[in-house]
Structure 1
Amino acid sequence: MKALVGKDTSDVIFRLLFSLIFIGLGGEHIFRDVLIQKMMPGWMPIPRLVSFSCGIFLVAGGGMIALGYRLKVASVMLGTFLIVVTALIHAPALQGYQSPELDLQNQWIWDTMQRSNFVKNLCLLGVCVMLPHYKLGKWSLDSFLESRKG
């Protein structure tokens, strides 16, 4: 059966779609992080600075993947972020954490959001584990830079 699109086109589509969540979430950390700060543990120092720094980190890692530049570095960056956030934010919430700020209906929404974020992060981490072994197509910054050398 013939593929709908070629490998190089699939590569670009994959990289753009995969990086979109990191770039979008990074932008949220940078520009509109009220909810993100509420999700942080109480012991987190200077939540706004932590959130802003994470946003820059996410945009950088997601941008590197979107451009097809240094995938191994980007996958380690984003994979590390996913492990830390999943362990510190989403996993503890699965243990029945009751937020004093939420009523019962909102607590259900909170719990559902934490479960889905936990599973989403595991799926994204799986892709990050595979990215160092991934072969970029010809429409990537790494391929362009390599062609300019030789």
Structure 2
Amino acid sequence: MKKPLLLSALLSSLLVVGGCASQLTGDVYSRDQARAPQTVRLGTVESVRLVQIEGTKTVIGPAAGAAVGGIAGSGVGGGRGSAIATVVGAVAGGMVGAAAEEGITRSQGVEITVREDDGQTRAYVQQVSNNISFAPGDRVRILTVNGESRVTK
């Protein structure tokens, strides 16, 4: 009875982690950015390439994995063997939970290299957007707010 409940708790925790992952596209703003003034620079896209943006690494994934692994391990054997299996299960579960969290929250990104009108060439990485795509030669705007930049058309 406890194992299904614990598995549900683990999956719920990982879904929460995935839901808390910030959007890194060029068309999503945080609450702090929404009303802040932005610096706008103009430029021309020189190149575009797909990249991976690594997922989050919080304590939730390893903690949930360790709990599930520890409980699963405690059901193995008896006495001292059960205690050892509990520790091994918790360690292995923590590692699996950490890997699962990072994998679930990993996203497809795009690296956009822009020759800005002031002569500077800079590369920007942001999450791929379904609404906006970039190609060499596109004229773009680089919006910077609170030290974070994004590329838009």
Q: State TM-score, norm by structure 2.
A: 0.30
Larger Rg: 2
Between Structure 1 and Structure 2, the one with more helix by share is 1
TM-score (norm 1): 0.30
More strand as a share of residues:
2
